[in-house]
Every structure is written in structure tokens, then in C-alpha cells.
A and B are shown apart, each in its own frame.
Chain A
Amino acid sequence: MKIFTYSKDAATPTQAIEEATNKNDSAYIAGGTNLIDLMKDLVLTPAHLVDINGLKMTSVDKLDGGGVRIGALARNSDVANHQLIRENYPVLSRALLSGASPQLRNMATTGGNVLQRTRCSYFYDVASACNKRNPGSGCDAIDGYNRVHAVLGGSAKCIAVNPSDMNVALAALDANVLVSTGSGERKIRFVEFHKLPGNTPHIETMLDPYELITAIELPPAGFSKNWCYLKVRDRASYAFALVSAAVCLHMDGSKFKEARLALGGVGTKPWRVSEVEKMLVGKTADEKLFKSAAEMAMKSAKGYEHNKFKIEMGKRTIVRALKVAAAGVS
């Protein structure tokens, strides 16, 4: 690992941002579960770490107008088990618990999970070409072993998957990301927070340098009756998704009143499928409809040599998730 300097002096977002901006080549560290891993492999080599664990951003609170505010430093396990989340936003709780291991969830933070980097093996291997790690160097995944890569949202420069489970649920719930700019605060819609790779896969989010995520806001609608988070992976636990689907529904009997569908494991960003949501509204839930929804969701999918299976797997995952969610919590 490259040498770095470290401090935990910052007590407010403004102080942290000031410190990060003034020091050369800084990075924030919170849970560290992704950053330290990448530092060990020399993928990231910050010269200074601003430890933000002294900032008071760990609580999960009810918002006045309904909804919930999750502090950026709230640990994944604490959010998943918080009474407000497990009762009102079960899809988020289940998505969080589907990711990583209990030890990692005890460390990893909400803000860090939003910013979790791809698990593309070429991104991790500094000897490989990777436009995300080293802009302009090329992409060894497109013609390489791309079994775990994206079938939606890829470009000729990058087909790396956003690996987070939590992000899929946040996309379905239409969350907002609260960001401190140093001189103020701004709010970014979660579905707009991550960028498609296009020609600049190294620019992954709407954040400007050293802006700091302070919280995630969930709107009042939690979909606690009709929901599903379905994750398909190579082993039963503790593996990244090949495909995952978050479904949140408001049902009127067997008719769809409102539908939300977001996919993980298949997209270069958390993949919300709005056209399917619109198509479902007003229709009666049945297998035929689920299948046409799945076809529609994967219509623009593009498979590569080793990941074509994700297209069919994605469709089947969507059908099952819609079925479970429409049936509702018994």
C-alpha cells in the first residue's frame, strides 16, 4: 500500500471538505471496506485520508412530512435492522441484508455503499486495461472474461456493473441523496445520482470533487405490503448478484395501482425501468403480464461472450419478483 497521511480531526462536513480540498490527493474514509481493499491492490492510492467517522451522521430519523432520513454514516446492519426501515421499507432492509457478510455490514456505511466501486476484475487488476481506473487505456472486459458484466447501460468504453444491493432498493424507492458542498447542501435524485459510463466511465456519479454525502432521504411511500427483493447469485449467500430485482407495488385488488422496478447485477448503474412501471399500471396481475414486463425490461439488453445468460436470467428474475410482490406479504 502507498504511504498516506491520516487525520480524524473533522467534526463537521464543512471541516471535512475543507481538509480534503486543502490536502493533496485526499480521500474520505468511513467504513473503509471498499476503499482499503482497493488501496491494498494499488487501484486507489490517496495521499491523505480524511476519517469522517467523527461526524455526527449515524442516525436514522423520521422526517416531518413523512419519510425517513438515513445518516450517511449509519452502518448497513443498523439501517437494515432499524425499526423504521424493517417495518416501513422492508425492500431496503432485505436488499441490505442480501449484500456482503454480517462483519462487512457492521462496518460499511450508507454513504459508502452508494459510492461502492465496481467489482470488475479488470478494474481491480492494475496490469489490465481499464478506462474506469486509467482513462483512455481501453477495456479488457469487453473482449475478455465478462461473465459478471453488464448487459444494460454499457458503452464501448466500459461494461462494469454497479455491485450494490442497497442501491437497487434505493432506486426503486425513489430516494434522494443529500450532499454537502462545503458552502451549502444540495439534493440529488437517487436515480440520477449514478452516471452511465459513456465515454467517461471514470466519472461515476454527480458528485463534484470532495463533495460529501451526508444522508439519504426516503419518501413516505415504503411499500410495506407488496414488495420483493430477489437476488440470484453463484452461491446462496455472500456473493455479488448475477441478477437482482427490487419490486415495490401498490395494488388495488389484483390490479396494479403503482409499480416500481429496479434491477441490479445487469446494469452499469442501479437500473430503474420506468417504462415497465408505466405499462403495468391499471393492468391485472397475471403470469402473461409479468412475462411481457420482463421482455420489455430487457429489450435493450446487449450480451457479450460470457454474460448472455444474464438476459434470460434477468427476465425470469423479474417474473418471479413481480409474482411474489403482487401476492403480497401474507
Chain B
Amino acid sequence: MDKREYDAVNFEVDATTDKENAGQSRREFLVNAATVSAAIALSGVFGEEAEAAEVINDPVKAVAIQNPVPPQTIAVEFDVNGQMQKVNIDPRTSLLDALREYMGLTGSKKGCDHGQCGACTVLVDGRRINSCLTFAVMYQGNKITTIEGLEADDKLHPVQSAFIKHDGFQCGYCTPGQICSAVGMLGEVKAGCLSAITTDMASNKMTLTEAEIRERMSGNLCRCGAYPGIVAAIKELSEQTA
């Protein structure tokens, strides 16, 4: 099936970040490298026949092969990091996949893809959510902030700086989600939101103890175990703004 058979699927990718790179981006390199190794692996197993097999890197084409009846596509437009993004997408596309695969914003990570790890955390109208567990078509007109949108005027967001200062990461995979989550969490604390361990439920003035930080950040897992640095970074920020 021809890859452009779905004429309706005419997504506009904002690939400025990739275009700005003179050579191959890290992501393109990884995708291409994976394609080559997959092709080698296939030819090793299936010999001649597999040479004709093609590795599909295009989500539109992959969908076309799986589903002879084209899915409905829906035009959706929302603000991502201050820029309007318009895409025509299959309604099955998660918000995370829309950001990563259609808008070139690969900062938000896919960890578990089931809302259990928090690596995909983004802010929707200032509230933190798991972008893997929601459909992009549900965000018509919303304002989305990802890790790419936190810095302003070439300056890192205070939460980003604090994570660097306190070594709040090791491999870095969960970090964009951790940072977006921390930004959302500090907003919640400012608004007087409770946690499950807050004892004074009437007061709107929250004290961010270490235990409170851990409870409020429990939706973000870190397999490297960089928690002490993450907690220290958030603690320092909360003391500065208190």
C-alpha cells in the first residue's frame, strides 16, 4: 500500500530543531541505525526473501499496513510551548505520540506507556498529566507545556537549574517528566493543594517536608534511584520561594 494513500493525513511537522542541525540529529541517527540493524537481522534469519522486507519507520504507513480500512483522521490544534501546532491525526494517537512523532518534540519520554512511570509528564494549562494515557484529539485549544518550553530567554527554568545543581538524575530518561512534574507540583503547593500525608487539612499553607516531596512526586519513577538529588533540588526551591 502506498505510504501517501491517506491523503487526509497531512500532518505538519515543526522540525526546526532538527533542521537547525547541519548534520544528522541524534534521533535520526538512532532511527537509521535501528533500521540498518533490523534489516541485517532479518536477512540473517530469512535469507533472500527478507531482503525485500521493509522496516517501517513512518507511523502513517505502519497504520496503513495494519488496517486496510483507513482510520478517521481528525484535525486538532493546540498551543505547545507558545506555538500553535496543527495536525490531522488518527484519534488513537496519544498526546505523547503527537508531541514526539508529529511535532518533533522528543523531550517528553515514553517509559511504560501505561501511566505508571511518569516519564511522559507534561503540563496542560499548568496541570501535570500523563501524556501517554490520553488522546491528542481531546486537547483542542489547550495550552501544553513540555520540557522544551520551560526555559525562557535562553535561561533554564529554576527547577531545571536546581536539578543540575543537586545532581537530580543519572541516565536522564525520567528527567523531563520529573522536572515537568516538579513544576506542576510546586504550583499545586502554592495553591494550597493537599497530599495524602498532609495532616492539617483545613490550612492552605503547605510545608514541603522531605516526606511531602516524596509523596507528591510519587508519580515519577527513577530507575537510577536519583531520588535524593531530586528531593534536595525541590526542597531548596520550595525554601527559596516560601
Contact = CB atoms under 8 A, between A and B. Distances in A.
B115 A103 contact: yes
Given A104-B219, A106-B184, A238-B218, 15 more contacts: A1-B92, A4-B92, A29-B138, A36-B134, A53-B138, A77-B188, A77-B193, A81-B194, A86-B202, A87-B201, A93-B194, A101-B218, A103-B118, A103-B184, A104-B130
Contacts of B192: 81
30 contacts: A1-B92, A3-B69, A3-B72, A4-B92, A5-B72, A5-B91, A6-B74, A6-B137, A29-B135, A32-B133, A33-B134, A36-B134, A36-B135, A81-B192, A86-B194, A87-B202, A97-B196, A101-B118, A102-B185, A102-B219, A103-B118, A103-B121, A103-B184, A103-B219, A104-B115, A104-B130, A106-B127, A106-B128, A106-B184, A236-B215
A15 B135 CA distance: 22
A5 B192 CA distance: 40
B164 to A, nearest CB: 23
Interface string A102-119: 111011000000000000
A4 B128 CA distance: 27
Contacts of A4: 91-92
A226 to B, nearest CB: 14
Interface string B12-40: 00000000000000000000000000000
B114 interface: yes
Interface of A: 1, 3-6, 8, 29, 32-33, 36-37, 40, 49, 51, 53, 77, 80-81, 86-87, 90, 93-94, 97-98, 100-104, 106-107, 236-238
Q: Is the interface of B mostly helix, strand, loop or mixed?
A: loop
A101 B116 CA distance: 9
Interface in B121-153: 121, 127-130, 133-135, 137-138, 140
Interface residues of B, number: 42
B128 A102 contact: yes
A49 B91 contact: yes
Given A33-B130, A102-B184, A90 B201 contact: yes
B181 A51 contact: no
A5 B218 CA distance: 34
